[in-house]
Amino acid sequence: MGRLTGKKIVLGLTGGIACYKVAELTRALGKAGATVQVVMTQSATQFITPVTMQALSGNTVYHDQWDARIHNNMPHIDLTRDADLIVIAPCSTDFIFKLAHGACDDLLSTLCIARPAHIPLLVAPAMNVEMWQNPATQRNVALLKADGIQLLGPAAGEQACGETGMGRMLEPDQLLAEIIAAFQPKTLAGKQLLITAGPTFEAIDPVRGITNLSSGKMGYAIALAAWEAGADVTLISGPTALDAPYGSRRIQVQSAQQMHDAVMAQLAQKHHDVFIAVAAVADWRVSNASEQKLKKTCATDTPQLEFAQNPDILAGVAAMPGAPYCVGFAAESENLLQYGSAKRIKKNVPLLVGNIGHATFGLDENELILFDAHGHQHLPRADKQTLAKQLIAEIAARIKP
């Protein structure tokens, strides 16, 4: 099942070259399980046709407020009454003005003003940088925010007019992430979370090293779920092939020592409410790593590697005065119930999450066991994003005052 299964979304398009991005967004919403009802302004039809949007959404597209295809000739009423969300993308400067001042001179603007109060309205601005920065636009944007309308972006970058700056509409994948997040309960609103993810890499020489099979997928899924729950998320990641999870600030590191230093630096800079140590951190590093590539001069040559123990990041954070709520991860190969329970006590953390490492590394699914002072709780095998959402809900319930 997609993350938007059963949701009905009214997708409004206003005039702007960014309409071409909305074609991809419409497909993405459908793949996520949503039913998409497209409504366009006349200006939008100059940039993309209703035929295209009908083909992509699978539903009749409306752009006339007097459309007789609606049985009571009131599309501005009927199109929203069973909707879960309204998204305007792209949202032009003119349409922002209409929303801010309650203007109703076409189907889409009338539909937005006539929507039931419980239906959220999200807008994705798209305009020239000078239009976005204009004081009149900013006054109207402030009015939208005061009215509880959520703005998605805009972003900075190159624009179709050839200029560069704020005003670009978010990309389709970013808009999809924002729309999915709009349906999630904000159980961590206002909370600061610090998360580690991925493997570490301990150098043997400049081209070789020791690492593990962690892909980072579980940690990245948790970072996304925490952002969806309203948290401010900083992610410290070892080397992975993953894109940074939307909504998080990612700090890239390589070795366990670098991860330790980055974690401590973040904790020193500001207060964090929760620390989740998901990363598969190497217990040892090579203490006699070579500054040059080790050469095999004969068949019997074997490098003599010496090891030193890496700092224990989780235990170190848990022992700090005023430590955040600490959540550890244990990737075991056997005896998970025994080792997981013992590790939670040894690390002195309130919650530890255990899994069988070789049964999940690199995969999109996982199975978790939560260990706390009361025992353990099983989260059955599911995709990692589903498990991440469940884990974040557990953490939110445990830190709730």
Is 161 considered catalytic here?
yes
In the DSSP assignment, the letter for residue 62 is B
Measured distance CA(209)–CA(388) in Å, rounded: 30
Measured distance CA(14)–CA(105) in Å, rounded: 13
Amino acid present at 370: L
What DSSP line would sit under 125-182, residue for residue? E---HHHHHSHHHHHHHHHHHHTTPEE---EEEE-TTS-EEEEEPPPHHHHHHHHHHH
Exposed/middle/buried for residue 288 (C-beta within 10 Å: 0-12, 13-18, 19+): exposed
Helix axes 384-399, 217-228, angle to 10 degrees: 50
Virtual CA dihedral for 188, 194, 198, 203, nearest 10 degrees?
180
**Catalytic one of 19, 104, 112, 161:** 161
The two structure tokens encoding residue 316: 């170190």
The residues carrying an active-site annotation are 161
